[in-house]
C-alpha cells in the first residue's frame, strides 16, 4: 500500500497510520467473532467514508458481508459507483429495496415528492425506503457496521467505536468514528479507492437524489441533505437512533461482545443482487 504521508503533514499521517492499524485490527476481530450463525454486515451507502471501510473490508476482512439500501431514488452516480466497486473488489453487494405496496400507498397519499411538504412526510418516506428495509437487512445478523463519523453532524458528536443498537438488538460498530474528513480523503487517494463522482461536484454527503444538493463553501457537510429543513439535529433518516454507548476502543472488545444477543435461528448468507 502506498504510504499515507504524501498529502498530509507528518503528525497527521502518523495518526492516520495508527487509525488504519486500529481499523484493520477491529475488522479482524469482528470477522472472527461474528461467524456463519450470526455474521456481521456492513451497511454501505457508498459515501466517501463507506468506501474507505469497503476497501478495508474487501482487502482484510472479506468475511464481513456488504449490503446497501436501494431506495429507488438514488442519483445515477451511486449505482455507477457500486458497479465500479464490485468490479474492483470482486465483492457481492446485497441490495435491499422498499416494500412496493408501501411505496405505492405513500405516493397515493402524499404525491411522488411529498417529502418536501413536512418533516413528518419526509420521515415517513425515509421509514418506507430506508428504515424498514434496514430491519430486513439486519434480520439474523450478529452485528452491523457503519461508516459514521463524529465530524459529520452535531447529532453524531458523541459517537463511539461501538454501541448497542436497541432497535435491532445488535452491536453496531462505527470503526471510523474518530476519522476526520482529511483522513478519509488521504486514505482514498493513497489507496486509489473509487468514489462517487458527485463528491467532485460539491456533494460531501450523498443520499437520495431529490433530497441532496451540493453545498456552498463554508457550509456544513450535511447542509445539502434535506436542505429545506432548518434544524440540523433533525437531519437523520431514522437509520441511526436508539443507542447505548459501548466501550470506546477495540481493546475492550470482549466487553462489546458481552452485550451481544445472538439469534437462535442460524442464518443463511444470501448472495443476490436485490431483495424486496
Question: In this chain, which of 129, 141, 172, 222 binds ligand SF4, going by CB under 6 A?
Answer: 129
User: Taken in order 219, 220, 221, 222, is the CA torsion positive or negative?
Assistant: negative
Cα 208 from Cα 206, distance rounded (Å)? 7
Task: Return the range that interacts with ligand SF4 (CB under 6 A); candidates 41-49, 59-67, 124-132, 265-273.
Answer: 124-132
Buried b / exposed e across 82-99, counting CB within 10 Å, b at 16+?
beebeeebebebbbbbbe
User: HEC states along 128-167?
Assistant: HHHHHHHHHHHCCCCEEECCCCHHHCHHHCCCCCEEEECC
Q: How far is the CB of 42 from ligand SF4 (least distance, A)?
A: 20
Contact flag: residue 73 with ligand SF4 (CB under 6 A) = yes
Work out the number of other CB atoms within 10 angstroms of the CB of residue 116: 15
Taking the least distance from each CB to ligand SF4, the nearer of 126 and 170 is 126
- Phi/psi at 100 (nearest 5 deg)? -65, -40
Contact flag: residue 240 with ligand SF4 (CB under 6 A) = no
Contact flag: residue 85 with ligand SF4 (CB under 6 A) = no
User: Taken in order 219, 221, 227, 230, is the CA torsion positive or negative?
Assistant: negative
Q: Is 262 helix (H, G, I), strand (E, B) or coil?
A: coil
Contact 25, 175 (CB under 8 A): no
Q: What is the dihedral of CA 83, 57, 35, 237, to 10 degrees?
A: -70
Q: How far is the CB of 274 from ligand SF4 (least distance, A)?
A: 17
- Residues 6+ positions from 1 with CB-CB distance below 8 Å: 190, 191
Question: In this chain, which of 71, 162, 174, 250 binds ligand SF4, going by CB under 6 A?
Answer: 71
What x/- string results for residues 197 through 226 when contact with ligand SF4 is judged by CB under 6 A?
A: ----------xx-xx---------------
Question: In this chain, which of 65, 70, 96, 130 binds ligand SF4, going by CB under 6 A?
Answer: 130
Q: How far is the CB of 116 from ligand SF4 (least distance, A)?
A: 9
Taking the least distance from each CB to ligand SF4, the nearer of 19 and 225 is 225
Q: Is 237 a catalytic residue?
A: yes
Task: Return the range that interacts with ligand SF4 (CB under 6 A); candidates 119-127, 136-144, 241-249, 261-269.
Answer: 119-127
Place of cell 463554508: 218
Q: How far is the CB of 102 from ligand SF4 (least distance, A)?
A: 11
Task: Return the range that interacts with ligand SF4 (CB under 6 A); candidates 83-91, 123-131, 137-145, 165-173.
Answer: 123-131
What does the binding site for ligand SF4 look like in residue numbers (CB under 6 A)?
A: 71, 73, 115, 122, 125-126, 129-130, 207-208, 210-211, 237
Residues carrying an active site annotation: 237
Amino acid at each position: 500500500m502506498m504510504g499515507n504521508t504524501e498529502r498530509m503533514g507528518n503528525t497527521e499521517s502518523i495518526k492516520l497510520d495508527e487509525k488504519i492499524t486500529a481499523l484493520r485490527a477491529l475488522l479482524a476481530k469482528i470477522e472472527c467473532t461474528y461467524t456463519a450463525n450470526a455474521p456481521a454486515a456492513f451497511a454501505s451507502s457508498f459515501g466517501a467514508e463507506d468506501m474507505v471501510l469497503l476497501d478495508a473490508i474487501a482487502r482484510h476482512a472479506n468475511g464481513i458481508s456488504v449490503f446497501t439500501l436501494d431506495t429507488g431514488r438514488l442519483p445515477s452516480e451511486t449505482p455507477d459507483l457500486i458497479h465500479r466497486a464490485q468490479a474492483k473488489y470482486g465483492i457481492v453487494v446485497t441490495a435491499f429495496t422498499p416494500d412496493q405496496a408501501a411505496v405505492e400507498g405513500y405516493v397515493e397519499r402524499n404525491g411522488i415528492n411529498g417529502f418536501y411538504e413536512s418533516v413528518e412526510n419526509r420521515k415517513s418516506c425515509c421509514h418506507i425506503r430506508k428504515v424498514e428495509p434496514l430491519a430486513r437487512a439486519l434480520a439474523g445478523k450478529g452485528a452491523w457496521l457503519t461508516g459514521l463519523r463524529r465530524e459529520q453532524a452535531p447529532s453524531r458528536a458523541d459517537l463511539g467505536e461501538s454501541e448497542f443498537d436497541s432497535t435491532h438488538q445488535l452491536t453496531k460498530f462505527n470503526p471510523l468514528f474518530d476519522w476526520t474528513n482529511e483522513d478519509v480523503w488521504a486514505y482514498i487517494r493513497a489507496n486509489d479507492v473509487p468514489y462517487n463522482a458527485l463528491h467532485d461536484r460539491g456533494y460531501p454527503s450523498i443520499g437520495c437524489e431529490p433530497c441532496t444538493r451540493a453545498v456552498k463553501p463554508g457550509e456544513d457537510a450535511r447542509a445539502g441533505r434535506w436542505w429545506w429543513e432548518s434544524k440540523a439535529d433533525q437531519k437523520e433518516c431514522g437509520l441511526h437512533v436508539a443507542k447505548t454507548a459501548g466501550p470506546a476502543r477495540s481493546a475492550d472488545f470482549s466487553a462489546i461482545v458481552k452485550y451481544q444477543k445472538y439469534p437462535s435461528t442460524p442464518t443463511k448468507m444470501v448472495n443476490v443482487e436485490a431483495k424486496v
